[in-house]
Amino acid sequence: MIELSIPFLLSAILVMLTVLAVFIVYILFQRSREVRFNKARAVYLQTYSQAWYAFLFQDAEFSIAMIPRGKAQVAAVEEIFSSYLKNVINAEVTNKIQNSANQYLKKFYAKDLTSRFWGVRMNALYRIADFRINELLDEALQFEQKKISKEEYFQLLKIYSILQPEIFLKKIKEARTRYSESEYRRLFILLSDDVFNQMFDDFYNNEQNIQLAIIDTTAVKRNMQFIENLKRLLNDESDEIKIRALKGLYEIGIVDEIDTYIPFVTSNVWEIRLMVAKIFKYAPLTYTYPYLEQLLQDENWWVRSQAAKTIAEEREGVAKLQQFIAHADDQYAIEMVQETIVRKQGNR
Amino acid sequence: MDMPMMSQDVMQEHEVKRYFNILRESVIRSHLTMTVVFLTFANDVQNHAVPEEMSMFLKSKLRKTDLLFQLVDGKHWGIFFLQSSVVEARAFLERIFNILEEEHSNLLVNATITEIRNNDVSFDTLITQNKQLLTKIGQKKWAVEEIIDYQQPPTEHVKVSVIEQNQIFRQVLEVAISQLVIPHFSLEVSTYEDGYSFFQSNNYKSAHIHLIITNDILPRKNGFEILHLLRAMPNGNKFIIYMMSERNSESVAINAYDGGADEFITKPFNLRLLEAKIKRTFERLWL
């Protein structure tokens, strides 16, 4: 049995109470700091929101009282700028925010980049990108030389893509860190069409994740000028690239000729045949019907279903499908067509 | 003394008076412009068959929504053009004047036009003013004159509710909309941070036209719930609903329009664009 003397127990309790007291004091101190911070931020917002609005939107004079002093006021200005950038498109306002951030917030973020806390550094990187603080580009390049995390490097790439696309194009090829397709897409969607075109020109000098992200980004951007680039990729050896390129072409939704797509009607890959059946939606049925009829009798359910839907979407489509039933032998195709006709008529 | 020649198939002055009072009030309530045209002969007509011929001619040229009537003196005709402005009335007169010149050369006619967009005019005043003007231009032929005293609509009070969680942007919208100058409308702008506080305010319970500018995503009753609840109300059509969204997605926009939104605006957007949309919305209220 363990024997503990009363003086020992009392000493232990005393030590624990002291530790607890220190914790409570620390928590109370932190809490009061947070309250002071929030109050200072709220007071700044209350006092200067209107002045910032007048300065940014109504060409009012800038008052030196609006210059943020201390972290709480910087947080308030960040909130004002972010709210405007997130909700309002106005080139003049964006320029004024950039100039004001260059003048009054730069020193705070330069200091934050040297912080030992990852969160503080990330926040600074986000703000540099959001407010387009180009005067911190040198600091960003120096920051890159340090041992930084994958997330920080990603933010740096984003900053380069916004502030200095040439650096971005160089860095992305260096492939210092690899990212997922979706992460690359998040970067590429921010690029101007000119810079994005340069990425496309250099397509085959990139790793596959980047290549696929480039193709997917065209589908999101839906810009006609990418059609020729995507058509060139249809000659690629990789089926995945062909499928993505067809998907991009489908999303852009403009089919100027169908000859490019005809060889894919007999592709060995069902996903490719499916995409062709989708793309034919944008071409007149007079040209595409023989191929769609072929796809109606495809071995794959998805391809048959899509071919029937594409035909049914045209004005004369349902009549064509009914003609098809009258002559076809393929029971699977007939069932699919009947189902599509019923669905189409049900939607009317 | 000659008895005036009254046409059997055309409504008479005393019959039309009560209709006029109803139509005049619906001009305000439904924002539908009404235009009244008065016609009379420019030459002295002795033949008793001529007024009858004129009545039949006018009747044959009108739309089903137009109302023709003959004044008690038998020499003046009035036409109410519902949902029509002075432009349509002028086009009508030009058309019938051309036909009359070609096919009924015995009929010389003058006309007056009164566009009505408020309820300041009584039937008797309308007739007196137009008859006086027609007498004044009696020496002319194929003349058309306008009375412009009733063209200005009354200033209408409109409620605007901005429902947006971001306090800073909410203020921006409030200031921008409050500073909008829209002819014939005065805007009373209120702001709310979520759908719940909007419904708690009871501001929506009034007969005023109510412009709602709401975000799609909101804490405590989001934009789609607001849309659904307002459109389900018996007087749901008084609400003009603009939905704002950060989601640049066609399916979200389609859902909003299907749910009854009048406009779907993707954020970020240009404030000038929003202001232009609002102005156009109110201009369209008056047909």
**Each residue of A151-169: pLDDT tens digit?**
998 899 889 988 888 888 8
| Region A91-109 average pLDDT | 92
Of B128, B147, B166, which marks where a domain is finished?
Answer: B147
Given a cut of 90, whether residue B62 has pLDDT beyond it is no
Give A53's contacts in chain B (Cβ within 8 Å).
Answer: 171-172, 175
Same-domain check for residues B184 and B166: yes
Pick from B169, B246, B269: CB nearest A89: B269
Contact B268 A89 (CB under 8 A): yes
Helix (H) or strand (E) holding B134: helix B123-136
Beta bridge partners of B189: B160
| Residue A278 to residue A272: CA distance in whole angstroms | 10
- Measured in angstroms, the CA of B175 and the nearest CA of chain A are apart by 9
In a domain, B85, yes or no: yes
Count: domains in chain B: 2
- Grouping H, G, I as helix, E, B as strand and the rest as coil, residue A8 is helix
In a domain, B1, yes or no: no
Tens-place pLDDT, residues A5-51:
888 899 999 999 999 999 999 999 999 999 999 999 999 999 999 89
Give A51's contacts in chain B (Cβ within 8 Å).
Answer: none
In a domain, B3, yes or no: no
In a domain, A312, yes or no: yes
Given a cut of 80, whether residue B46 has pLDDT beyond it is no
Residue to substitute from B172, B180, B273, B275, interface A, most A β-carbons within 10 A: B172
How is residue A260 written in tokens? 């490019």
Same-domain check for residues B166 and B105: no
Given a cut of 80, whether residue A137 has pLDDT beyond it is yes
Given a cut of 80, whether residue B45 has pLDDT beyond it is no
Tens-place pLDDT, residues A31-42:
999 999 999 999
| Residue B247 to residue B244: CA distance in whole angstroms | 9
Q: What is the mean pLDDT of chain A?
A: 88
**Percent of chain A with pLDDT strictly greater than 90:** 43
Residue A228's domain comprises 193-254
Of A177, A211, A232, which marks where a domain is finished?
Answer: A177
| Region B161-184 average pLDDT | 91
Q: What letters, b where the CB count within 10 A reaches 16 and e where it falls short, cover B141-156?
A: eebbbbbeebbebeeb
Which residues of chain B are at the A interface, by a Cβ-Cβ cutoff of 8 Å?
Answer: 166-169, 171-172, 175-176, 246, 267-271
- Measured in angstroms, the CA of B20 and the nearest CA of chain A are apart by 43
C-alpha count within 13 angstroms, C-beta hemisphere, residue A145: 4
C-alpha count within 13 angstroms, C-beta hemisphere, residue B121: 29
DSSP string over A264-322: GGG-S-HHHHHHHHHHGGGS-HHHHHHHHHHHHT-SSHHHHHHHHHHHHHSTTHHHHHH
User: B1 falls in which pLDDT band (50, 70, 90)?
Assistant: very low
Same-domain check for residues A263 and A250: no
Contact B172 A87 (CB under 8 A): yes
Tens-place pLDDT, residues B121-130:
899 999 999 9
Count: domains in chain A: 3
Tens-place pLDDT, residues B233-273:
988 889 999 999 998 888 899 999 999 999 999 999 999 99
Contact A85 B172 (CB under 8 A): no
Provide the ipTM: 0.71
Given a cut of 80, whether residue B114 has pLDDT beyond it is yes
Same-domain check for residues B161 and B139: no
Helices B223-231 + B250-259 axis angle, to 10: 20
Same-domain check for residues A263 and A248: no
Contact B166 A83 (CB under 8 A): yes
Same-domain check for residues A55 and A163: yes
Pick from B166, B172, B246: CB nearest A53: B172
Give A88's contacts in chain B (Cβ within 8 Å).
Answer: 169, 172, 268-271
Given a cut of 60, whether residue B14 has pLDDT beyond it is yes
Contact B168 A83 (CB under 8 A): yes
In a domain, B82, yes or no: yes
Contact A86 B168 (CB under 8 A): no
Same-domain check for residues A202 and A95: no
Contact A85 B271 (CB under 8 A): no
Give B268's contacts in chain A (Cβ within 8 Å).
Answer: 85-89
- Measured in angstroms, the CA of A215 and the nearest CA of chain B are apart by 20
Using left for φ > 0, alpha for ψ between -120 and 50, and beta otherwise, residue A222 falls in left
Same-domain check for residues A240 and A271: no
User: What is the CB neighbour count within 10 angstroms for residue A106?
Assistant: 17
In a domain, A5, yes or no: no
| Residue A118 to residue A152: CA distance in whole angstroms | 9
Q: Are B81 and B114 in contact (CB under 8 A)?
A: no
Same-domain check for residues B57 and B77: yes
In a domain, B4, yes or no: no
Tell how far CA A129 is from the center of its chain: 14
Pick from A45, A53, A88: CB nearest B268: A88
Contact B168 A79 (CB under 8 A): yes
Residue to substitute from A88, A93, A94, A189, interface B, most B β-carbons within 10 A: A88
Of B120, B147, B174, which marks where a domain is finished?
Answer: B147
Same-domain check for residues A141 and A161: yes
Residue to substitute from A82, A87, A92, interface B, most B β-carbons within 10 A: A87
Give B275's contacts in chain A (Cβ within 8 Å).
Answer: none
User: A99 falls in which pLDDT band (50, 70, 90)?
Assistant: very high
Give A79's contacts in chain B (Cβ within 8 Å).
Answer: 168
| Region A85-104 average pLDDT | 92
Beta bridge partners of B35: B81, B115
Say whether pTM exceeds 0.80: no
Helix (H) or strand (E) holding B215: strand B209-215
Which residues of chain A are at the B interface, by a Cβ-Cβ cutoff of 8 Å?
Answer: 45, 49-50, 53, 57, 79-80, 83-90
Contact A83 B271 (CB under 8 A): no
Residue of A nearest to B272 (CA): A90
Given a cut of 60, whether residue A83 has pLDDT beyond it is yes
In a domain, B5, yes or no: no
- Measured in angstroms, the CA of B160 and the nearest CA of chain A are apart by 19
How is residue B138 written in tokens? 């009696």
| Angle formed at CA A296 by CA A290 and CA A299, multiple of 5 degrees | 125
Same-domain check for residues B167 and B274: yes
Pick from B171, B268, B271: CB nearest A49: B171
Q: CATH number for the domain including A244?
A: 1.25.10.10
Contact B271 A90 (CB under 8 A): yes
Q: One-letter amino acid identity for A20?
A: L
**For residue A312, what pLDDT is reported?**
85
DSSP assigned state of A103? I
Same-domain check for residues B207 and B124: no
The residue behind tokens 């499908």 is A321
Q: What are phi and psi of B201, to 5 degrees?
A: -70, -20
In sequence order, what are the residues at sequence separation of 6 or more whose Cβ sits closer than 8 angstroms to the Cβ of residue A230? A215, A218, A245, A248, A249, A252
| Residue A206 to residue A200: CA distance in whole angstroms | 10
Residue B20's domain comprises 11-147
In a domain, B160, yes or no: yes
| Region A290-296 average pLDDT | 90
Q: CATH number for the domain including B186?
A: 3.40.50.2300
Q: Are B164 and B226 in contact (CB under 8 A)?
A: no
In a domain, A22, yes or no: no
- Beta-carbon pairs below 8 A across chains A and B: 43
In a domain, B92, yes or no: yes
User: B231 falls in which pLDDT band (50, 70, 90)?
Assistant: very high
| Residue A263 to residue A291: CA distance in whole angstroms | 10
